[in-house]
Structure 1
Amino acid sequence: MIRAAVLPAVGAPLEITGIELPEPGPGQVRVRLAAAGVCHSDLSLSNGTMRVPVPAVLGHEGAGTVLSVGEGVTHVAPGDGVVLNWAPSCGSCPACARGEVWLCADALTGVGNVHAHRADDGSALHPGLSVAAFAEETVVAAGCVLPAPDGVPITDAALLGCAVLTGYGAVHHSAAVLPGESVAVFGVGGVGLAAIQAARIAGASTIVAVDVSPEKEALARAAGATEFVVASDTTAREIRALTGKQGVDAAVECVGRAVTIRAAWDSTRRGGRTTVVGIGGKDQQVSFNALELFHWGRTLSGCVYGNTDPAKDLPVLADHVRAGRLDLGVLITERTALDGIPAAFENMLAGKGGRALVVF
């Protein structure tokens, strides 16, 4: 029996309880978790913004060590360090055929998912976002594990599986930031801090961090922000003032709220790019008029998982870490245990801190 954080029902408090895992079958891998990041997507699943069958074990940003593998698994072996991949691509759908693996139609269908059971009553537990990382151990489909990069502490490597891939990809793949350009990042959480570092790595000349909390300024500047703006009704005006009244070349929105998306758009120069990374609810409606769409000539795009291919991008991120260009420690503002996840959710709701990391 192992311990896990179980979501019994949408909107209900997490329960730390014992669960039973099956041994890995063909094409499956059992992993002992070293660490799991607490992501805003986990909060969105728990409160119903995103759908998940319940009861469920949440958690999707993790890393650990392979305990055992099922028949047919050859790319990892017992004892190997691995990073969890919560959206493995199938390689054969139309999106994958186009090279857009982040839009894979089958990535989150649950094919090959392993259902754990509660130790007390035997009820089946759904693995949230395919990997169920809020547990001491998990059994996942082989496509959900990638070899952990050498030279990166396995606990910190957990962040590579979501926050860093997403933030880095939003800047390098979706917004395609070039050296000398200006960037605004809205939301200084785990993904936002990764995006700020990615903008610095890309050679951005001005990096404006925006957050509702003034206390986030130190975090933002440590990640590489050159300017910090406290979010308000005048955010766009302040950012334009910092960029010669032009606006930034690229804005990256990591919050998922209508008001923030609109502010990011308004902060972008004529012909600039606005990338929406944050996951918002259906009630978050954003309005534009036809004339402004024509006049400003801006691009507004969504961004899924940083538009990354984890298998290709993970080694790139590891090179940045080993070279000292990417500091994973800057993202982590709290290390906690399983029972600290509810408090981490509360901190996210209150806009406090960067990434909380559950260390097993």
Structure 2
Amino acid sequence: MKALVYYPSVPRYLAARALGRRYPTAALPLRLLELPEPQPPPGWVRARVRLAGVCGSDLALLLGKNSPRLSPFFSFPAVLGHEILAEVAGERVAVNPLLACAERGTEPCPACARGEEGLCQNVAGGGLAPGMLGYHRDLPGGWGGWIVARPERLHPVPDGVPDRRAVLAEPLAVALRGLRRAFGANDGPRFPGSLLVIGAGAIGLLSLALLRALGFAGRLDVVARHPRQAELARRLGASNVYAATGDALAAIGARKYRPLWGPPAYRGGYGAVVEAAGSASSLDQAAWAAVEGGTVLLLGAAGQINHDFSPHWFRELTWVGSYTYGRADFADAVRLLGELAGLEELVGPPYPLAGWRSAIAAARARRVVKAVFTPGG
């Protein structure tokens, strides 16, 4: 099968970062190779990949922006791709890419025992190499024609859901998990009166759609840098869309103060902020955009960031981090796909694997919110 394989390379990292603005795919450590089709271990099944997404964490990996302290929990070289829509015996399935205690042949750790497999304590142990599908040296991810997985990781897609919406199941589960951690789930979510989403990429826009689907009827503002993102945010239920966080804070009545040097400080702001951009500047803005005593939800994988922590204690903020999902989060995200009409607009036209340079360039330039491959043809 054809597959895009990532090979770690420090020289290529440096070259890619130096040339990235002008030549967005120059020196990236990817190779399009012909590999044997994977054979499922006993009790596993093989699935043909229909669509596979390009995640922000994939781009961060390719550009060397991930924290080296996370390196023990992944294994390379690897066929990338953890946002996977596949097919088994003619049935479409969304693939949960986690490789937790059940796959590793270990006794369930405390996290897995309570269904929190995204927090598995054996993610680097047991009978498999470290990592999950898409970050695993032995089990291919979705940027290849076939994957293997345990049957319970394959979730049938609801009838009527188009492929370009179904491929969003994994990032939708990320957003759902984060919102549940920040605002509760078991006894119904406890939302603040106002909420700001910083970053209108896939995770930010999915969070916006989910907040409305989960019943948040308050002021829900979005900071979007690109016109297409702003258009989609309005369609998905944003109250207001701003080009900059400062504009949002001015509109909600936060008071602005000028320090001796550097960006401004604020009093007042939003009851909660979803930080979905994953940059140093967006994290700093989120810290000052939440009202005193408010909540900041960090979604996804931001990588290494230098950050001023003074607003954390000065404003008595609650910080919630969320990276993957539990068993129920993924299942619920797949079910919600049937209710979230229009999400497919986030997904651009699919690229063949041979067009990977165009796909990566489109994702980096934000010409599409979500770039996807058609690895299985």
Instruction: Compute the TM-score of the two structures, normalised by the length of structure 2.
Output: 0.76
Cα distance, 1:286 vs. partner?
Answer: 1.4
Further displaced range: 93-102 or 203-212: 93-102
Are 1:214 and 1:230, in contact at CA under 8 Å, matched by a contact in 2? no
1:277 counterpart residue number: 299
Q: Distance in 1 between matches of 2:275 and 2:145?
A: 33
Cα distance, 1:101 vs. partner?
Answer: 3.0
Q: Distance in 2 between matches of 1:248 and 1:126?
A: 36
Following superposition of structure 1 onto structure 2, how do residues 30-69 of structure 1 map, counting pairs within 5 Å? 30-50=46-66, 51=71, 52-66=74-88
2:19 counterpart residue number: none
1:185 counterpart residue number: 197
Equivalent of 2:180, from 164, 172, 185?
172
1:139 counterpart residue number: 148
Are the structure 2 counterparts of residues 155 and 197 from structure 1 closer, same or farther at C-alpha, using a change threshold of 3 Å?
closer
1:105 counterpart residue number: 121
Cα distance, 1:54 vs. partner?
Answer: 3.6
Equivalent of 1:342, from 347, 354, 357?
357
2:338 counterpart residue number: 322
Are 1:86 and 1:130, in contact at CA under 8 Å, matched by a contact in 2? no
2:3 counterpart residue number: 4
Are the structure 2 counterparts of residues 315 and 294 from structure 1 closer, same or farther at C-alpha, using a change threshold of 3 Å?
closer
Q: Distance in 1 between matches of 2:138 and 2:33?
A: 19
Following superposition of structure 1 onto structure 2, how do residues 69-148 of structure 1 map, counting pairs within 5 Å? 78-90=89-101, 92-97=108-113, 99-107=115-123, 111-112=127-128, 127=136, 131-142=140-151, 144-148=153-157
Q: Distance in 1 between matches of 2:278 and 2:359?
A: 19
Code of the residue aligned with 1:350 in structure 2: it is A
Q: Secondary structure at the match of 1:169?
A: helix
Cα distance, 1:268 vs. partner?
Answer: 0.7
Cα distance, 1:30 vs. partner?
Answer: 0.8
Code of the residue aligned with 1:168 in structure 2: it is L
Over residues 264-306 of structure 1, what are the superposed CA-to-partner deviations in whole Å (9 max), with x where a residue is unaligned? 1211112211011142233x121222xx44442210121122x
Task: Give the number of aligned pairs.
Answer: 327
Q: Secondary structure at the match of 1:242?
A: helix
Unaligned runs of 5+ in 1: 67-77, 115-124
In angstroms, what is the RMSD of aligned CA positions? 3.0
1:200 counterpart residue number: 212
1:252 counterpart residue number: 274
Q: Secondary structure at the match of 2:349?
A: strand
Over residues 197-236 of structure 1, what are the superposed CA-to-partner deviations in whole Å (9 max), with x where a residue is unaligned? 11222324222211333442112212222212223xxx2x
Q: Distance in 1 between matches of 2:114 and 2:336?
A: 27
1:75 counterpart residue number: none
Are 1:148 and 1:154, in contact at CA under 8 Å, matched by a contact in 2? no
Are the structure 2 counterparts of residues 171 and 220 from structure 1 closer, same or farther at C-alpha, using a change threshold of 3 Å?
same
Over residues 147-178 of structure 1, what are the superposed CA-to-partner deviations in whole Å (9 max), with x where a residue is unaligned? 434443345322102x1111233223334464
Q: Distance in 2 between matches of 1:240 and 1:160?
A: 32
Q: Distance in 2 between matches of 1:220 and 1:260?
A: 18
Q: Distance in 2 between matches of 1:351 and 1:18?
A: 29
1:122 counterpart residue number: none
Are the structure 2 counterparts of residues 316 and 145 from structure 1 closer, same or farther at C-alpha, using a change threshold of 3 Å?
closer
Are 1:223 and 1:330, in contact at CA under 8 Å, matched by a contact in 2? no
- 1:303 paired with 2:318, answer no
**More strand, by proportion:** 1
Instruction: Compute the TM-score of the two structures, normalised by the length of structure 1.
Output: 0.79
Q: Distance in 2 between matches of 1:174 and 1:25?
A: 38
Are the structure 2 counterparts of residues 164 and 100 from structure 1 closer, same or farther at C-alpha, using a change threshold of 3 Å?
same
Code of the residue aligned with 2:351 in structure 1: it is T
2:285 counterpart residue number: 263
2:229 counterpart residue number: 216
Code of the residue aligned with 1:35 in structure 2: it is L
Cα distance, 1:130 vs. partner?
Answer: 5.5
Q: Percent same amino acid among aligned pairs?
A: 29
Unaligned runs of 5+ in 2: 14-27, 103-107, 255-267
- 1:229 paired with 2:260, answer no
1:240 counterpart residue number: 249
Cα distance, 1:338 vs. partner?
Answer: 1.6
Equivalent of 2:37, from 21, 35, 55?
21
Q: Distance in 1 between matches of 2:124 and 2:251?
A: 41
Code of the residue aligned with 1:328 in structure 2: it is L
Q: Distance in 2 between matches of 1:278 and 1:319?
A: 21
Q: Distance in 1 between matches of 2:250 and 2:126?
A: 48
Over residues 82-117 of structure 1, what are the superposed CA-to-partner deviations in whole Å (9 max), with x where a residue is unaligned? 221122443721223455332112346585579xxx
Q: Distance in 2 between matches of 1:43 and 1:238?
A: 29
Equivalent of 1:158, from 167, 171, 175?
167
